[in-house]
């Protein structure tokens, strides 16, 4: 069942963030109608609000928790999610945490979205791997090669899925700009 949920998580993540264009093989993933993927968000800044809006609208996905050291950001996420779920007549108990490790301790959370400041990415990701959570991580993955190798090791050791957000690389406008440059339409 865990593999089944991972396939669906990756499929929905990529659909929700336009990454499917870069990884079409994942579009063939299938899932059952009664599956619900429960997500926690670590780091509740502006990017997480954008992703929350996208993920919350994917059928079969519920955002159930968030973590951030700043109380005002926790309050904002909780209010937005509660309002969204109330408007859509969905009963979801949303909890927020100051310490992201409390979120990772929850057994009912299948996956996490990590949108913390870049220097936290490696530690947050390794901790999420140890907790057995599948991960959607905003770029950059890490700052150093040593951190990257530690993340790869953790992903493999704990058998979790890791997807990395890189929307600008798959967005049509950016792809079109690269095409124009490569074909000399803009100049040398």
pTM exceeding the 0.85 threshold for the entire prediction: no
With respect to residue 178, please indicate whether it lies within any of the assigned structural domains: yes
Q: Is the pLDDT of residue 124 over 50?
A: yes
Asked if residue 155 is part of any domain, the answer here is: yes
Rounded Cα distance between 10 and 19, Å, is: 10
80 or 4, higher pLDDT: 80
Report the pLDDT value the prediction gives residue 165, as an integer from 0 to 100.
Answer: 85
Question: Is 33 a domain residue?
Answer: yes
Query: For the domain that residue 51 is a member of, what is the CATH number?
Result: 3.40.50.720
Give the count of domains, the chain: 1
Query: Does residue 81 carry a pLDDT above 70?
Result: yes
- Note down the domain range covering 9: 2-182
Q: What is the pLDDT of residue 116?
A: 96
- pLDDT tens digits for 131-180? 999 999 999 999 999 999 999 999 999 999 999 987 666 678 888 888 89
Angstrom distances, CA of residue 45 to CA of 68, 114, 141: 8, 11, 17
Q: Provide the pLDDT confidence category of residue 6 given band limits of 50, 70 and 90.
A: low
pLDDT at 9: 58
Residue 127 dihedral angles phi and psi, to the nearest 5°: -65, -40
> Does the residue 22 lie in any domain?
yes
The verdict on residue 128 lying in a domain is: yes
DSSP H stretches of helix in the chain? 2-17, 46-56, 71-87, 100-104, 121-130, 145-158, 167-170, 172-182
pLDDT digits (tens, 9 = 90+) for 18-75: 333 322 323 334 444 458 999 999 999 999 999 998 888 888 999 999 999 999 999 9
Give the separation between CA 95 and CA 62, rounded to whole angstroms. 12
Q: Is residue 91 one of the residues assigned to a domain?
A: yes
Q: Assess if residue 68 is contained within a domain.
A: yes
d(CA 162, CA 115): 14
- Three-state DSSP at 142 gives coil
List Cα–Cα distances, 2 to 39, 99, 159, 162, in angstroms: 14, 26, 10, 14
Q: Is residue 31 part of a domain?
A: yes
The answer to whether the CB of 132 falls within 8 A of the CB of 104 is no
């Amino acid at each position: 069942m865990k593999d089944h949920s991972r396939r669906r998580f990756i499929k929905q993540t990529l659909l929700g963030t336009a990454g499917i264009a870069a990884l079409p093989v994942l579009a063939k993933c299938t899932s059952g109608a009664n599956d619900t993927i429960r997500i926690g968000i670590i780091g509740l800044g502006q990017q997480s609000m954008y992703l929350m809006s996208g993920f919350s609208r994917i059928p079969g996905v519920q955002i159930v928790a968030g973590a951030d050291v700043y109380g005002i950001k926790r309050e904002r996420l909780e209010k937005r999610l509660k309002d969204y779920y109330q408007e859509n007549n969905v009963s979801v108990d949303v909890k927020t945490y100051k310490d992201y490790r409390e979120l990772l301790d929850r057994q009912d959370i299948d996956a996490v979205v990590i949108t913390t400041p870049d220097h936290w990415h490696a530690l947050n990701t390794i901790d999420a791997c140890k907790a057995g959570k599948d991960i959607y991580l905003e770029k950059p993955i890490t700052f150093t090669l040593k951190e990257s190798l530690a993340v790869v090791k953790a992903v493999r050791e704990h058998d979790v899925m890791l997807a990395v957000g890189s929307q600008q690389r798959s967005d049509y406008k950016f792809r079109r700009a690269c095409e124009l440059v490569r074909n000399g339409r803009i100049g040398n």
